[in-house]
Structure 1
Amino acid sequence: MSKTRALIDTNVLIALEDPGQTGPVAAELSRRCQAGGISLHIHPAMRDDFARDRNEVRRLVSASRMEKYPWLALIAIRGWELLEQQFGPIKNENDRVDVQLLYALSLDAIDILISQDEGIHKRVRGTPLEERVLTIADAVAWLKALQDAVDDGVAFVADVPAYSVDLADPIFESLRADYEPFVHWWRTKCVVEHRDCWVIRGRDGLLDGLIVRKAEDGTELGLTPSDKILKLCTFKVGARAQGHKVGELLLRKAIWYAQLNGFDALYLTTFPKQTMLIDLLGRYGFVTNGENSTGELILAKYLPKDAIPAPTGDDAAHLVRTRYPRFSIANPVTLFAVPVQWRFHRQLFPEVAKLVPTPLFNDDTIDDREAGRVPGNTIRKVYVCRAKIKAMRAGDLLFFYQSKEEAAQNSQMLTTVGVVEQLRRAVGEAELLRLTAGRSVYSRQDLEAMAAASPNGLAVIDFLLIRHLSPPIGLKKLTNTGVLKGPPQSITRIDRAGLPELLPSMNFGFAL
């Protein structure tokens, strides 16, 4: 991988080396360049800028600052007239320095030029070099795009460096017992290399779940070196958290992180005795790819980007799960709008449960009114309603619509996409409890009330949460474009002609 080289001008050098207090944006530029291995260079012509400073002490200080950075070699000038033709008039010595910096950029001696000088930016406006001349703020934004992974928005999972995790936490006890060199590996690899972790903590601050991740090339799984794979170095759910969907929540985080950030596969290794973990992974398409030297199974999930056909036949529900998070919009997949009362919507989809921003603070307050149920931010979910719908198959798509609630930010909007696993009907409380066991966010009181109000039975829809629409689609647009005729009062079929209005909000990292 070639190293990125950036040339900084005099103003940027001063901003980075301010003897008082470096500004936060300049400080972030410096930090991100160091973290990303991007070298900041000085042009020899900048000596002339500082040499013209009549304050001898400041001139000496400036010269010493420049010595911290690598210098470009002096570049021969073909003729100042030619540089004027390329970059505009040279009226003074400052102009002469500016065009030399731009000339170095035009020769690809450096990759980008970071400058706060508006005159330099004007000289390249409308030319091929314009996108390569950045302000400090532009450079920071560019580096963020390069360095920061796409945020997949899964709530309740923290992203932390390994060195911030307490190795004395009880979650590590079994790891130390199973793998004698664990402590040494953690300290010399995870801590020293600042490996990234996803953690879920209990109310007491102790860990309930942990993933340590590492990006690798494809050779680790027998793919090409250019392929990009994500290794889950450690995937651990605390004993006290078993049965609370912690593993599923962590897995959802990992799969979507890999999907959105262009990985071709993700994998982990685990001992055969970890049957619960192996079962969870197999449910969502992980396959065994041999064993390593310590007898651990290598479990991998491949993430092709091409569109897939609709699931059909007796194994349709199995395909829905193993293909996750990918799904199909091809015929005969049917699209449904599913209205959900705000109280149940916030339980099913807590990540999009936000209140309307207050005029004073313009915040996005999480809607925790009537909270108390376990958050529904896992993959497998169930939706219960009175709809008498029968024609719903595995692979059909659900577009969840949050019903009207003045205080809710996403009131009367399509917010979320799910894919159907199966549709069943439950008559009576006992059957409803059975059919919703294991994935319900409804309280027993909720289910009792639903069953009592619907003696002829209820629709029980098992589905997988795909992702939230970005942006959500409001009722006005839905009706103006003919996707819906009005606010849906029950599950409503969406004509396939409405797909073009929905697809712009479904940028999920794979073809549809």
Structure 2
Amino acid sequence: MTNLVRTPFSEISLAEPFFDSLKTDYAEFPTWFKKKADSGESAYLYKTKTKGLVGFLYVKAEAGMVTDIKPPLKAGVHLKIGTMKIDAHGTKLGERFIKKVFDHAFEVHADDAYVTVFAKHQGLIDLYTRYGFEPYAVKDGPNGQEMVLLKSFHNVKNDILLDYPRIKANGVTIGLLAIYPEYHSKFLPDSILKNEHFSILDDVSHANSIHKIYVSGIAAAGKLTRGDLLVMYRTSDGKGPALYRSVATSIGVVEEVRRIKSFATLSEFLKYAGPYSIFPKEKLTELYDTKKHHNMIKFTYNIALRRRLIRQRLIEEVGLAAGTRRWDFFKLTRAQFDLIFELGQAHESYLVD
């Protein structure tokens, strides 16, 4: 297992050392765990070949008021993050879990998401607040008082990260950006195609992180600015006609664009690009030495389209030009973007405007 996989509690061993800290923090954890197993509930697991179980996420939709916190949450649909634990090992797995929380929230049409956390877990608190959770309440329990962090999906902060994963499409440039198949799913793991296996995914920063860096030699792509949108387009793998093998899969938001030559030293460049680019250190070093005018497009990975759109549909239904240009990077109209959003069956909750 090398991806987030939804797994029944009854198939998860509580004897795993991974759960020891949860048993220490919550004396009732084994009882709670058994209750979830007996009721047939599931959680998201992340395992690696070398470290075994390194991530666990349980979320639950709650309808009505939430009254066991002070102040209570008013009536609505709330996604409770019942348990999220990650054994940090430098691969930004926490960001992968945060994205999964939001994806799940939109699936159940939640008004907000909330989590309780002890103040001692500052790293976890920092992760939540980076993506829009705010202190809202406290919860008193048998193990002490916990903070309650809340993220509303109705309030707009006009900030790419605080509003993440929601996007704004008004008044921004929208571009279609091509990515080769050998990079696509390892870079955008939630956009993996049905004919690909999870075994191609690795537990590495560029896969797990919400933030991505794409290296481009296309001059027009260098004109993108913060807040612009990208529709990621996986080019053909050559195993059949491009009309059916090339697909639009994902939507991201540009954070910034920098020329490689803007970095004064190689070490500065590697520190910036290393965690978020699919290229290894050797390739990045080569780019720094030989491609000074290439652009580094840093963007957030917001939406994996539920239905991937093949090139034929993009031409016939969205109205993209069939053969007048290379499909490497070009601008989309708002109407074309809206069709991609609709035909790709993206949840309307992702769109702010």
Fold shared by both chains (TM-score > 0.5): yes
Q: In structure 2, do the counterparts of structure 1 residues 392 and 177 end up closer, same or farther at CA, with 3 Å as the change threshold?
A: same
2:342 equivalent to 1:493: no
Could you tell me whether the CA contact under 8 Å between 1:211 and 1:250 is conserved in 2? Answer: yes
Matched, 1:471 2:311: no
Instruction: For 2:253 and 2:294, locate their aligned partners in 1 and report how far apart those are by CA, in whole Å.
Output: 19
Q: 1:416 aligns with which of 250, 257, 264?
A: 250
Tell me whether 174-183 or 319-328 shows the greater mean CA deviation: 174-183
Q: 1:183-217, CA deviations, whole angstroms, 9 ceiling, x for partnerless residues? A: 33433x43344432111112258320112233323
Give, in whole Å, the separation in 2 of the partners of 1:431 and 1:488: 33
Deviations 1:330-378 (A, max 9, x none): 1x11101112222222321244444xxxxxxxx8243977x76837254
Is residue 295 from structure 1 mapped to residue 295 from structure 2 by the alignment? no
How far is 1:442 from its partner?
2.0
Greater alpha carbon shift after TM alignment, 251-260 vs 191-200:
191-200
Deviation at 1:437, TM superposition (A): 3.5
State the shift of 1:497 in Å: 4.3
Structure 2: distance between partners of 1:373 and 1:204: 10
Please tell me whether residue 197 in structure 1 is matched to residue 31 in structure 2. no
How many Å apart are 1:504 and its aligned residue? 2.1
- The structure 1 segments of at least 4 consecutive aligned residues displaced by more than 6 Å after TM superposition are none
Q: Distance in 1 between matches of 2:222 and 2:15?
A: 53
Give unmatched runs, 5+ long, in structure 2. Answer: none
Q: Indicate the residue corresponding to 1:403 in structure 2.
A: 235
How big is the shift at 1:262? 1.1
2:25 counterpart (161, 165, 178): 178
Corresponding letter in the other structure for 1:297: M
Name 1:453's counterpart in structure 2. 290
Are 1:503 and 2:337 an aligned pair?
no
- Residue-pair matches, total: 333
State the AA in 1 paired with 2:182. R
CA 505–430 in structure 1, closer or farther in 2 if over 3 Å, else same = farther
SS in structure 1 at match of 2:275: coil
**Cα distance change, pair 351–174 in 1 and its aligned pair in 2 (3 A):** closer
- Aligned partner (choices 232, 247, 253) of residue 81 of structure 2: 232
Deviations 1:405-455 (A, max 9, x none): 21389743322211112222222744431221432332112212333331x
Counterpart AA for 2:298: D
Whichever residue aligns with residue 12 of structure 2, its letter is: V
The structure-2 alpha-carbon separation of the partners of 1:170 and 1:352, relative to structure 1 and needing over 3 Å to count, comes to same
Report the residue type matching 1:416 in the other structure. S
The 2-side partners of 1:373 and 1:277 are apart by: 19
The structure, 1 or 2, with the larger RCO (C-alpha pairs under 8 Å, 6+ apart) is 2
CA separation in 1, counterparts of 2:298 and 2:137? 33
Quick check: 1:206 aligned with 2:52? Answer: yes
Identity %: 25
- The residue aligned with 2:163 is 323
Larger relative strand fraction: 2
AA at the equivalent of 2:301: L
Residues 215-364 of structure 1 mapped to structure 2, 5 A cutoff? 215-220=61-66, 222-225=72-75, 227-238=76-87, 241-293=88-140, 294-304=144-154, 311=158, 319-330=159-170, 332-354=171-193, 364=195
Q: Is the 8 A contact 1:284 1:323 kept in 2?
A: yes
- Whichever of the two has the greater Rg, that structure is 1
The alpha-carbon distance between structure 1 residues 506 and 421, as it changes in their structure 2 partners (threshold 3 A), is farther
Query: In structure 2, what is the Cα distance between the partners aligned to 1:216 and 1:372?
Result: 33
Q: CA deviation at 1:397?
A: 0.5
- Superposed CA deviations along residues 78-130 of structure 1, whole A, max 9, x for unmatched, are xxxxxxxxxxxxxxxxxxxxxxxxxxxxxxxxxxxxxxxxxxxxxxxxxxxxx
Q: For the residues of structure 1 that align with 2:82 and 2:51, how far apart are their CA atoms?
A: 23
Contact 1:232 1:268 in 2 (8 A): yes
Q: Secondary structure at the match of 1:376?
A: helix
TM-score, normalization by structure 2: 0.82
- SS, match of residue 406 in structure 1: coil
Q: By how many angstroms is 1:326 displaced?
A: 1.1
SS in 1 for 2:302: strand
